[in-house]
Amino acid sequence: MNNKLNFLLRTALSAATEDRDSFIEKFSAVLEDYTGLDKQTGTKAGSHVVSGLSALKEELQAAALNRQAAARQEKVEELAAQLAQINERLDEIIRELNTRKA
């Protein structure tokens, strides 16, 4: 994702979720200025945008948690495979030692 767009998205998410009322007020004012909408419609649109951004933030957090869990699972599986190899090698060494004793 473009760095500038990523920064704008993070800033909007942060502003919308930290101070919802202030974001709605400022967003609706900008929307009213640029589109000529009345205050009530601008406020409704601002509320809708904040709701969408809040949902997006939750989805991004869930996706990040899923990626972390998947990475941890991969590490656990890798460690388990390495331990299995170590156990197999130890078993081979023990068998070899037992055959030498006999």
- pLDDT, tens only, 46-69: 888 888 888 888 888 899 899 999
Q: Is 98 exposed, middle or buried (0-12, 13-18, 19+ CB in 10 A)?
A: exposed
Total domain count, the chain:
1
Contact 28, 43 (CB under 8 A): yes
The yes-or-no verdict on residue 82 having pLDDT over 60 is yes
What does pTM read for this prediction?
Answer: 0.60
Nearest to 29 by CA among 41, 18, 12, 15: 41
Residue 14: domain span = 3-101
Residue of 56 and 73 predicted with greater confidence: 73
Place of tokens 């974001």: 23
